[in-house]
Amino acid sequence: MPIRLATSCSNCNNLSGGNTCTQHKIQVSERHTCDSFSMQEALKNNMNCGTCTRFNTSDCPHPQKASAEMLCSSWAPKAVA
């Protein structure tokens, strides 16, 4: 089962400083989302083996093909502290 980035406010283009949603003018958190969710470009365009938590591990289903330019349906985001 593929694991994907959450479509939550924390990954949304409309989140500004102070956890304020610029669309709805309210305070939000990573627990919220809405129909206006818009994935941040930096996250959308950064899905590849280099950002996959399975890269170079036994959990990668394509160890012979995995490279920084590749992506497969088993991609899983690395934990961010």
Identify the three-state secondary structure at position 78. coil
Is 21 a binding residue for ligand SF4 by CB under 6 A? The answer is: yes
Residue 54: CB atoms within 10 Å = 19
Tell me how far the alpha carbon of residue 73 is from its chain's centroid.
14
Contact mark string toward ligand SF4, 28..67, x via CB under 6 A:
x---xxx-xx-----------x--x-xx----xxx---x-
Q: How far apart are CA 36 and CA 68, in angstroms?
A: 31
Per CB under 6 A, residues contacting ligand SF4 are: 9, 12, 14-15, 21, 23-24, 28, 32-34, 36-37, 49, 52, 54-55, 60-62, 66, 70-72, 74-75
